[in-house]
Amino acid sequence: MAVMAQDMASGYVYHDQNRNQVRDKGEPGLKGIRVSNQKEVVVTDAKGRWELPCDDDSTFFVVKPSGWATPFTDDKLPLFHYTHKPKGSPESKFPGVEPTGPLPKSIDFALYRQTEPDQFKAVFFGDPQPRNQTEIDYIAHDVIEELVGTDAKFGVTLGDILFDDLSLFDSMNATVALVGIPWYNVIGNHDLNFEANEDALSDETYERVYGPNYYSFDYGKVHFVVVDDVNWRGRKLKYVGEIGEDQLAFIQNDLKHVPDDQLVVFMMHIPLSGVGDRQKLYRLIENRPYTLSISGHTHWQAHQFLGKEDGWRGKEPHHHIVNVTVSGSWWKGAKDETGIPHAMMRDGAPNGYSMITFDGHKATFDYKVARKPASYQMNIHAPEMVKQEGDEAAVVYVNVFSGSSRSTVEMKIGEDGKWMALEKVLEEDPYYVTMRNLEIKAYPEEKPINAPIQSDHLWKGILPKTAPRGTHLIHVRTTDMYGRVFMDQRVIRLK
C-alpha cells in the first residue's frame, strides 16, 4: 500500500469536567499525558498539547493514565482514539472506516477523573467466537448473565470476538455491554477482512468498530499493552503469528515511559510460542522484573513459564497464560436442558473465562467455569466400582483446570486415609475421551466435538490396594502456584 507524504497532527488532552466530550471554555489541558500514532509516543506539554507525524492512514490515541477514564460508547467501548483516513477504507464485504476528510486542526482527547484502587479485578474472555446470533445468545446465557454486577473494573476479549461474520460486531458488543463495565478488545484471526491482500488492510472493519489494532493504557498500578500478533498474508497464505517492526517500535517507545518497577501486562490473541518474532519482544521486556502476558486462540488452557529453552534471557521465567475460551470447543458438544452445548475444550477443561486480581506487582489468576460455582476447579475421573482383588490397578485422573507445573495434587480414600501425591502427566483426559465417544455413538448425525489433545493440567494416581472395602469418598486437594488450596471429592465403591 502506497504511503502518502507525512504531515503533522496535533491537539490537546484535556480534563472534560462536564463530560460532554467537547473542550469547553475553562477546561484545562493536562500535562504529561502520553499520546501515540502507533509508533512514536509523545508527552503533552504544560498546556496539554501534543504533536505527531501523520500520513493518510493514521490512528492517534491517548494512553489512558491511572486515575483517569476515557469516554465510552453505549456499548462500553473506550473512546480514546482518532482515525485519519481521508479517503476511507477500501470497499469490502464488511464496511470499514468512512472517509474522514482533511486532517482536523486540533485532535483533542477527553479524560475524566476516576478512583482506581491498587487492588482490582479484570475479566478476560478467550475466543467467544460466535458464528451467528444463536451463538451470541449462548454467550448471553452462558457467561454474560452471571457476570452482571461483577466487581471487576473492566473486561478484555483476547481476540476472535466473532467467527468471520463481522456484521455481528454490533450485536456482540451490545450483549457484552450488559455486564456493565468498560470493555477492551484484541484483534483475532477471525476478526479480519479476508478479502484484503495485505495485513495493513485486514483490520479495516475492526478499526471502524474498536479503533487501533494495538495500543496501551494504565489502570491502578498496572500498565496494559494490547498486541496485534496476527499478520494477515492474504487469502492464499492466510496468517502467521507476528508482531512486526512498527508495533515493536511502538512497544519500545511506550515502555520508555513506564517505570521498571511497574507490572506490564501484554494482551494478545496468538500465544507467544506461536509468534515468529517473539524474540524481539523478549529483548524489549526481559530485563523488567514484572511482566505477564495472556492470549487465547488455541482453545485449551495452560500456564507457560518461558525460559532459556524458548530464548527468554530474563532472570526469572516469563509467565504466559493461554486463557480458557468462552466458546470452548467452538460451541460443539451435546446440549444441556437450556439448549446450550457443553463446549468442553479438547484438554478436558470446561468453557468459561478468567478473572485476574491485580495487586501492585502481583497478578492472581482464577479460572471460572461457565454457570458453575467459583469453587469448581477440577474434575475427578475414576471407576464407579473397583475390585480390590486381582492384579489390575485402578487409576484415578484429576484434571485441575488451572493447574500448572507449579501446582501439587493429592488424594486420599475416606476421612482416615493418608494423603498421596499424584503425578503430573501429559496425556489425553480419559473423561473427555469417554464423553466424546459416547456422544459420537448417541448423536451420529451431529458433528462431534474436537479430537482430544494431551492436557497440560492432568494428574494421575493409583488407588491403594489397602483401602477398606465399602463405599467411600475420594478426597482430592490441589495447591496452586499462589499457595491456595482447592478441594473436591468423588464417590467410589470398593469390593
Residue 174 lies in a domain: yes
Q: How confident is the model at residue 391 (pLDDT cuts 50, 70, 90)?
A: low
**Taking 50 as the threshold, does the pLDDT of residue 4 lie above it?**
no
Residues 364 and 403 in one domain: no
Tell me, yes or no, whether 206 and 339 share the same domain.
yes
- On whether both 313 and 383 belong to a single domain, the answer is no
312 and 408 share a domain?
Answer: no
Asked, for residue 57, whether it belongs to a domain, the answer is no
SS3 392: coil
Higher pLDDT, 282 or 390: 282
Q: Which of 394, 397, 415, 400 is nearest to 464 (CA)?
A: 394
User: If pLDDT is split at 50, 70 and 90, which confidence band does 381 have?
Assistant: very high
Say how far residue 122 (Cα) sits from the centre of its chain.
10
User: For position 479, which CATH number holds?
Assistant: 2.60.40.10
pLDDT tens column, 274-298:
999 999 999 999 999 999 999 999 9
Domain boundary pick from 319, 346, 369: 369
- The residue out of 335, 369, 403 marking a domain boundary is 369
Question: How many folded domains does the chain comprise?
Answer: 2
Per-residue confidence at 390, pLDDT binned at 50, 70, 90? Answer: low
Whether residue 304 is found in the same domain as residue 388: no
Domain limits at 317?
Answer: 116-369
Task: Find the CATH number of the domain harbouring 342.
Answer: 3.60.21.10
Q: Is 325 inside any structural domain?
A: yes
99 part of a folded domain: no
With a cut of 50, say whether residue 1 has pLDDT above it: no
Overall average pLDDT of the 84-110 stretch = 96
Residues 392 and 489 in one domain: yes
- Position 443, amino acid: Y
Q: Are residue 204 and residue 280 in the same domain, yes or no?
A: yes
Angle CA 147–170–343, to nearest 5? 50
Q: What is the pLDDT of residues 23-54, one digit of tens each?
A: 999 999 999 999 999 999 999 999 999 999 99
Query: Considering the entire predicted model, what is its pTM?
Result: 0.96
The answer to whether residue 291 sits within a structural domain is yes
Whether 21 maps to a domain, the answer reads no
Q: Say if residue 189 is in the same domain as residue 240.
A: yes
Per-residue pLDDT band at 304 (split at 50, 70, 90):
very high
Share of the chain above pLDDT 70, in %: 98
Kindly report the CA angle at 478 between 477 and 479, in degrees rounded to 5? 130
Residues 249 and 396 in one domain: no
Q: What is the pLDDT of residues 421-476, one digit of tens each?
A: 999 999 999 999 999 999 999 999 888 999 999 999 999 999 888 788 899 999 99
Q: 80 in a domain, yes or no?
A: no
pLDDT category, 2, cuts 50, 70, 90?
very low
364 lies in the same domain as 398: no
Domain boundary among 346, 369, 392: 369
Would you state the cell numbers that stand for residue 287, as one nine-digit string?
530485563
β pairing state of 385-386 and 485-494: parallel
pLDDT band, residue 3 (cuts 50/70/90):
very low
Q: Does 392 share its domain with 352?
A: no
Residue 65: the pLDDT is: 98
Q: Using CA atoms, how far apart are residues 148 and 130, in angstroms rounded to an integer?
A: 20
Verify that 358 and 397 share a domain, yes or no: no
Burial, 105: exposed, middle or buried (Cβ in 10 Å; 0-12, 13-18, 19+)?
A: exposed
